[in-house]
Chain A
Amino acid sequence: MKTNDIILQTVTKVTLFIIILFSIHLFFAGHYYPGGGFVGGLMTSGAIVLLLLAFDMKTVANILPIDYKYMIATGLLFAVGTGAGALLFNAPFLTHAFKDVYLPLLGKTSLHTAVLFDTGVFLVVVGVTMTIIQTIGEDE
């Protein structure tokens, strides 16, 4: 029997964006507060799972035409790249650096290469979670 999911779908339309915004907040909070790439990535994939629950897989594939396997590869490249970047400056592998920069809108911001590493973690977590869930969901 097919039920009408209109309430779930309408609530999803707004909640989804708040969840993703919260995951971005968690991602950037990671350096000074609890949070980071792992929870941020899990939260983002949680939002996409909510989308999968409210709609069917085909709709979600239309909304987000992403191959999550490539996402994992990109994330790993980010992580290895930031690690290998240290070698260019005659520093050991995975040495991180940071610099205080005055950005036009944000004011004094310390840009840390660990954020790039965290982006890699974020992408890998989202990619792995979504690949697992979609692979299980596809079997019928």
Chain B
Amino acid sequence: MAFQILLNFFLAFVWMFLKVSYDPVTFLVGYFFGLLIIFAFRRFFDSRFYLLRVVAVINLLLIFMRELILSNIAILKVILKPKLDIRPGIFALETELTEDWEITVLSGLITLTPGTLVIDVSDDNRILYIHAMDIGDVDESVSSIKNSFEKAIMEVSK
């Protein structure tokens, strides 16, 4: 991926030298043509076309913002409720993610999900211990959310 981005920048600079104009617009046009060429030769590289990964990162960012807003609304509801009928609990979640940053991002996202909080990660980085605010009904729905998170993160690192 890094090679593709470097190559694209390099091509943009080559385009500037070919055009003998050194303004940002020429750079952008060259970058666009480089992107087209790299797209045409995408099967040439070992990793996939890097723009797909950029799209995956943007997707992850959107999920992050949505969950941030949803979790705050959910907490607001609990606080404003006159009766405190939550049932807190801790459960373990096995993760397939291996890279350090992936686990960090996943725990960050889980912490921002409505009603869950990552307490600890096991020593072999395989199990996340999560505190749930309302374990009864959350347990299943949360693991489905986590699957979507995990999938979105895997989409970035694939």
Measured CB to CB, the residues of A under 8 A from B are 13-14, 16-18, 20-22, 24-25, 62-65, 105-107
Contacts and interface: CB of A to CB of B under 8 A. Distances in A.
B103 interface: no
Given A17-B11, A106-B25, A24 B43 contact: no
Contact of B44 (A24, A25, A63, A105): A63
B4 to A, nearest CB: 10
A123 to B, nearest CB: 13
A18 B12 CA distance: 10
A22 B37 contact: no
A63 B11 contact: no
B41 A16 contact: yes
Given A17-B11, A105-B25, A24 B40 contact: no
Nearest to A62: B43
- Per DSSP, chain B at the interface is helix
5 residue pairs, one from A and one from B, having the closest CB atoms = A25-B18, A63-B43, A63-B44, A20-B37, A21-B11
Contact of A17 (B28, B29, B37): B37
Interface in B11-44: 11, 14-15, 18-19, 25, 28-30, 33-34, 37-38, 40-41, 43-44
B63 to A, nearest CB: 30
A21 B40 contact: no
B7 interface: yes
Nearest to B25: A105
A16 B29 CA distance: 19
B9 to A, nearest CB: 12
B41 A17 contact: yes
19 contacts: A14-B7, A14-B10, A17-B7, A17-B34, A17-B38, A18-B11, A18-B14, A20-B37, A21-B14, A21-B33, A24-B33, A25-B19, A62-B43, A64-B41, A64-B43, A105-B25, A105-B29, A106-B29, A107-B25
A90 to B, nearest CB: 36
A12 to B, nearest CB: 10
